[in-house]
Structure 1
Amino acid sequence: MGVIEESRSAWSSPIVLTPKPEGTDRFCNDFRKLNEVSKFDAYPMPRVDELIERLGPARFVTTLDLTKGYWQVPLTKEAKEKTAFSTPDGLYHYKVLPFGVHGAPATFQHMMDQILCPHREYAATYLDDIIIHSPDWTSHLGHLGTVLGALRHAGLTANPKKCHLGLEEAEYLGYTIGRGSVRPQLRKVEAITTWPKPATKRQVKTFLGLVGYYQCFIPHLATMPAPLHKMTEIKHPHHVLCSVEAEEAFTFLQKALCTEPVLNTPDFGDTLVVHADASGTGLGAVLSQARGGEEHPVTYCILAVSCKNMKGIIQQWKKNAWRLNGP
C-alpha cells in the first residue's frame, strides 16, 4: 500500500503488538518519546453536539467514511524521518500520517475542514466521518455530488462498505439521526443497559464516561450519579463496593436512555424556549422547540455544583435579585 519504506533516520520508536478480540495481533507504534518533543498543534476538534445541531430538520442524510483516513495524508521528508521505528528486519519509517503521533488528529481535522469549508451549509465532518444533510431529495443529490467531487479533487477516497447514501435516518458518531430527531445509537444503549455492576474504580469511570456521552438525553444527570462519583475518589481502594445509593444510581442511568424521549434537532429559524431549574446539588435546563403544536426537547443541560460553589451562586442571586424582580 506504500505506507512505509526503509529508513536511514536517526530517530527510532519501538513497536508494540496488541491482541485483537479475534486472536490476531495489531501492529502499533509507541510514539510517546516523539510526542514529548513534538510541537503542540492547537487546532480545535469540532464539538459533536454542534455538528448534530447543524443538521436541523434534514429529510435525507448520507454518511461517508474515508478509507484509512490518516494513510491518505502524505508526510514531508522531515516528518517521515521522525516516524522511524525498529523491526527485526531493519529500520523503517512512514510515508503517510501514522496513528499515535499527537498532532495527527488536529492535522487531519484541519485538512478536512479546509476541503469541506465551501460546503459547510450541508456537510460536516469529524475526522474521517462525513455527513451530508439536505431538506429534499433533489438538493441531496446535488450536495452529494458536490462533496464527492471535492473529495476526488483532494485525492481522497471513501470506503464503499462504510458509506450509506440517501437515507432518511442514519447512524453518525454514536447517534441515530434523521427526520428532524436524534437519539442514542441502539447498540450503544444496549451496551449500557447490559453493563455489569462495576467492581473497580476504572469500571465506574468507564461506565460514567459512556453514559456522560449521552448526557443531553438525561435530565437528572447532574445529581443522580453523585454516589458513583464518590466511588472514584482517591480515598477509596481500587476495588469498590456499591452502596445502596450507588446501585440505585447505576440502575437509574441504565434505564434512563431506554425511557427518556427522543430529542429534536433544532430549527434555528424558529423560536427556542429555555426552562431552567436548580437544587442544592445541581443546575439544570431544557432547550425545547414547538413542532406540530407540541413542545419537544432539543437538549438537556446539567451541571453538578459543590456546596462551596452553590453558596457563591446564592450570594450572587441575592445581590442581583432586584434586577430580576424589578423595583
Structure 2
Amino acid sequence: MPFGLTNAPASFQNLFNDIFHDILDINVVVHLDDIMVFFKSEEEHVTHVSTVLSRLRANNLFDMASKCLFHVSSVEYLSYVVSSEGLKMVQAKVQQILNWPPPRNFKALQSFIGFDNFYHRFIKNYSKKISSLTSFLMKYSRFPLNEEALRQFHQLKEPITIAPILSHFDPSLPTIVETDALDYALGAVLSQSFDSGKNPIEFDSHKLLPAVLNYEIHDKELLGIVWALKCWRAFLLSLPSSFEVLTNHSSLQYFMSSKIL
C-alpha cells in the first residue's frame, strides 16, 4: 500500500482484522504491522505462530525475519513492556522523562505533558500531580513556570521511577474499585486479588470542571464512584459476579437508602 494516503492506516488495519478475525484479541493482537502472538505454553505458541505466518503468506504478506522475535517471555509492544506479569514502562522512555529539562515555553510544556500522559495509567492521582503544570496550558499563561509548577515538574519524575507493574485483568479474580475525591480532582484504582496479594490493574484520575468544584464532599465522592465505574465499564461487565467498591467516605454506603428531605 502506498505511503501518504489518508485512509492507508485504516485500510491496512481492516485487512489484518479480516485475516485474523477468529483469533483476534484471543491469541493475537494486531496494531497495523505490529503483531503479537501470546500463549501460556510453548507447544501452543509454536502451533499458533505457524498459523499466523501461514495466514500472512496466504494473503501475500511477508515478515522481515530481522524484525521478528520468537520464544520470548517479555516483549516491547506499543511503548509497553508486556510479559506474563503484566505491563510496565519501557525503560528508555522512563529515562527520557527523567532527563527532560524544565519547559521554558508553551510548546515545550505541551510536549512534556503529552509524552508523560501516555503513562498516566501507572501513576496514582496523576491529575493532582500535574494540576499546576496544566494551568500553564491555558490562554494568556506567562512563562517561565512558577515555583509550584516547577516543584510539580520535578516531583512528577519520582512516581515514574517507582511505577508498579500493572497486572493483566482476570475476570475470575476478586475485583476492587477504589475511589477518592480530592479538592480539584478524582482518583481511582482498579485492582484484583492475586495469590501474591492485591495488584493494580490500572490507575486513573480526572481533573474536576469548575462547575463541579463547589460540590459538597459527599457528592464529589459519589461522583468519583460513578466516574470510575464508567471508566472501567468494559472490565466490570465481564465479571461473572459482583465486585467491591472502596471509598474513604463511609456515609456513602447509605446513599441507596437515605431519604430525600
Q: TM-score, structure 1 length as denominator?
A: 0.65
CA drift at 1:306: 2.0
**Aligned partner letter, 2:127:** A
CA drift at 1:175: 0.6
CA distance in 1 between counterparts of 2:118 and 2:160 reads: 11
Identical counterparts, % of pairs: 24
CA drift at 1:171: 0.5
Q: CA RMSD in A?
A: 2.2
SS in structure 2 of the partner of residue 324 of structure 1: coil
> What is the aligned partner in structure 2 of residue 122 from structure 1?
27
CA drift at 1:326: 4.8
SS in structure 2 of the partner of residue 141 of structure 1: helix
Unaligned runs of 5+ in 1: 1-72, 74-96
Unaligned runs of 5+ in 2: 224-251
> What is the aligned partner in structure 2 of residue 6 from structure 1?
none
CA distance in 1 between counterparts of 2:7 and 2:60 reads: 21
Structure (1 or 2) with the greater strand fraction? 1
Name which structure has the greater RCO, CA cutoff 8 Å, separation 6+. 1
CA distance in 2 between counterparts of 1:312 and 1:98 reads: 51
Higher radius of gyration, 1 or 2: 1
Correspondence list, 1:157-196, <5 A: 157-196=62-101
CA distance in 2 between counterparts of 1:183 and 1:147 reads: 26
CA drift at 1:248: 1.3
Q: For the structure 1 residues 282 and 109, does the alpha-carbon distance in structure 2 shift closer, same or farther, using more than 3 Å as the test?
A: same
Q: TM-score, structure 2 length as denominator?
A: 0.81
Correspondence list, 1:211-290, <5 A: 211-237=116-142, 240-290=143-193
The answer on 1:155 being equivalent to 2:60 is: yes
Q: 1:204 aligns with which of 101, 109, 123?
A: 109
> What is the aligned partner in structure 2 of residue 59 from structure 1?
none
- Report if aligned partners of 1:287, 1:297 keep a CA contact under 8 Å in 2: yes
> What is the aligned partner in structure 2 of residue 133 from structure 1?
38
Correspondence list, 1:42-191, <5 A: 73=1, 97-99=2-4, 101-120=5-24, 121-191=26-96
CA distance in 1 between counterparts of 2:182 and 2:110 reads: 25
CA drift at 1:293: 4.1
CA drift at 1:261: 1.5
CA distance in 1 between counterparts of 2:258 and 2:31 reads: 46
User: Deviations 1:218-251 (Å, cap 9, x if unpaired)?
Assistant: 01211111111121222125xx201111111111
CA distance in 2 between counterparts of 1:234 and 1:201 reads: 10
